[in-house]
Amino acid sequence: MTDITEAVPANLEPFVRVLGEDLAIAFFLSFGGAPVYLSLRPQDNADLSQAIGADNVKALAEELGVGHYYRVPINRRWLAQTMSRNGASVLAIARRLHVSDVTVRKYLSTTDKRQLSLFE
């Protein structure tokens, strides 16, 4: 488990706290948008266990609750910003996120165009 920064969106925060940033990114890229079942007794041969390890599946189940399917969140903006901070190029990020380089540049822009300015 690692310390997380305030920049991690709330819906991703439990995953990043349990898995750490690098494994969480790999997890989001592999399972983002898909439902997963979290069990306290995960099968070693299950796709989720193969990807993040049975111990991490159990830790997520303890963190988020067991006996439920969870749709894995995906936040491409946060993924792009984090991958860029870790040294990935715009084109590499675009390929991993399956978006255009233009979209990645928008994600990396410091000005959030989604929020209207009160002073313009």
Separation in Å, CA 20 to CA 15, 26, 67, 117: 8, 10, 23, 35
Q: What are the pLDDT digits (tens) for 20-44?
A: 999 999 999 999 999 999 989 989 9
The pTM of the full predicted model, rounded to 2 decimals, is 0.81
| pLDDT tens sequence across 84-108 | 999 999 999 999 999 999 999 999 9
